[in-house]
Amino acid sequence: MLSRISKALTAASILFFLALVIFAIPSFFDPEFEVINRSSETVSVVAAWRGGERDIGEILQQSSHRFSVDDEAAMTFVVRFSSGKEIESEPLYFTRGTKIIATITGDGIAVRYDFES
Tens of pLDDT, residue by residue over 47-65, are 999 988 999 999 999 999 9
Report pLDDT for 100. Answer: 93
The residue-averaged pLDDT of 70-77 equals 90
Q: Is the pLDDT of residue 112 over 60?
A: yes
Q: How long, in residues, is the chain?
A: 117
106 near 113, Cβ under 8 Å? Answer: no
- Cα dihedral 62→67→71→72 (10° resolution): 30
Helix (H) or strand (E) run with residue 10 in it? helix 2-24
The residue-averaged pLDDT of 52-80 equals 93
pTM for the whole structure: 0.74
CA distance 92 to 70: 16
